[in-house]
Amino acid sequence: MGSIVEGLTGLFDFRRGFGCGGVKDAARGVRKRLSGVAGRVGKGAQIAVRVGIAPIVVGLRMLNRSAEPTAPGVPPAEYSVGTVWKELLDEFFFASELATATLVSLSEYGRVGQEMADAVELFEERGWLKDPVAYHEDPPPAANVLLDHTGTFRGSYHHLRFESGYLPHAGEPGFDRWNSYRPNQTAHAWVLEHPGPPRPWLVCVPGYRMGRPAIDFTGFRAHWLHREFGLNIAIPVIPLHGPRSVGNRTGDGFLSGDFLDTIHAQTQAVWDIRRLIGWLRDGRGAPRVGSYGVSLGGYTVALLGALQGDLDCLIAGIPATDFVRLVRGHLPDILLKGADRIGFGFDSIEQIFKVISPLALPPLVPRDRCFLYAGRSDRLTPPQQARDLWEHWERPSIQWYDGGHVSFLWEQKIETMLREALGSTGLIVPKADASPS
């Protein structure tokens, strides 16, 4: 999404004016010193342009809202003043991301395009496009795990760390770049564990721009799950987030337009979670393990459920399920036409993303252990994405609510659904008096 906007505003990238042919040798030293300043000015100009574009894009999205048909299988939203405010909250977050996200620069488009072409050729040659499961290797349980006790304003928790050990396949485009992200090579998780005999574990997978303890514990109401239901909780930090960040903000680089990085990030996310689950069983004697993800984390647990069938419970909340369609659905036609003019290769992206698509891999977790919830007025991951996963999972239990993406944090129907999902799969004994804290 963001990389398209940057491409359309690339004429404001002042960096392209520096380093052109015809500069005298005597001026090279000056040019070198000025290039850093020019880069900062160029980035500032791009952000300024995107800040100006963002309200227009949001306005077009809201005007088009009433014309959007209700997708088959999605109950029509019941609009009210409260629902509209929830939609506006989603649009605010969309606009802020549109305006400030770190993106691949226009000068890198040639490299990105070549990497995609090379990836399509390699993936076809190795059979991964026909059999995406074969792209994913089975990891060993995590080893040499470190657990540090720490505390927050909400209480204490453990910070878990281990070496990820993930590597892209030999010969994959972007191999060296991905391996240069040193902070990302250590896997991290936030852990809430009860003393005493082993208990069931719930692995909660965060969404995009999460990865910090305060945000993750709040987003999952982890202390409520831990205290009221007696669950042990592990919240893994997905690649390029939190202490694994390689950019200025948590999540920079995951969805920046470097598409092979997105593939490697998503593949490593599942690799690390599977290693973590192996350690919970071998090192902590976990009698049952479930996984619960929100937003991008919903995408991740859906992919996890296609690679690891022995999970006792799988919950996808407000899930994204198709990155390419998400981009196409977010932007007005005028920007999509502009993307076509600059040669943006949606078809190639769609091909190589098959290896990480939860809709391209058959589910392994039985239908009665799978659960979904989604907002009928979600403006960030449209309800059609949850509907498609529901169909792919052979229509398991799904909870719809009248709200948006952000409002999942306080929707009462989600609390009820979580209680039923975790109780019916044996992870907890439901308590009638339990309430979120």
List the domains of the chain with CATH numbers: 108-424 (3.40.50.1820)
Least reliable range by pLDDT among 65-79, 118-132, 159-173, 365-379: 65-79
- Residues 172-182 have a mean pLDDT of 97
Most confident of 65-69, 84-88, 258-262: 258-262
**pLDDT over 80 (residue 284):** yes
Residue 207, pLDDT score: 96
Place of tokens 């090192």: 283
Please list, residue by residue across 224-235, b when 16 or more beta carbons sit within 10 angstroms of its beta carbon and e when fewer do: bbbebbebbbbb
CA distance 10 to 274: 40
3-class state of residue 152 by DSSP: strand
Q: Is pLDDT of 77 > 90? A: no
pLDDT greater than 80 at residue 430:
no
Residues 279/142, Cβ–Cβ less than 8 Å: yes
The top-scoring range by mean pLDDT among 53-57, 340-344, 377-381 is: 377-381
Taking 50 as the threshold, does the pLDDT of residue 16 lie above it?
no
pLDDT on residue 429? 52
pLDDT over 70 percentage in the chain:
77
The H-or-E segment that residue 175 falls in is helix 175-179
Mean of pLDDT values over 213-237:
95
Alpha helix ranges (H) inside 19-80: 28-63
Q: Residue 416: which of 402, 436, 392 has the closest Cα? A: 436
pLDDT of residue 138: 96
H or E element, residue 64:
none
Please determine, for residue 378, whether its predicted confidence score (pLDDT) is greater than 60: yes
Q: What is the pLDDT of residue 257?
A: 86
Number of H helices, E strands in the chain: 14, 9
For residue 152 the two structure tokens come to 């927050």
Identify the H or E element spanning 290: strand 289-294
Q: What is the rounded distance in angstroms from the CA atom of residue 377 to the CA atom of residue 193?
A: 36
**At 191, which amino acid appears?**
V
pLDDT at 219 over 70: yes
Please provide the average confidence, as pLDDT, over all residues in the chain.
83
Report residue 312 as tokens.
Answer: 């006792």
pLDDT of residue 335: 58
Instruction: For residue 293, give the DSSP letter.
Output: E
Give percent above pLDDT 90 in the chain.
63
Residue 21 has pLDDT above 50, yes or no: no
Which residues face 398 on adjacent strands? 372
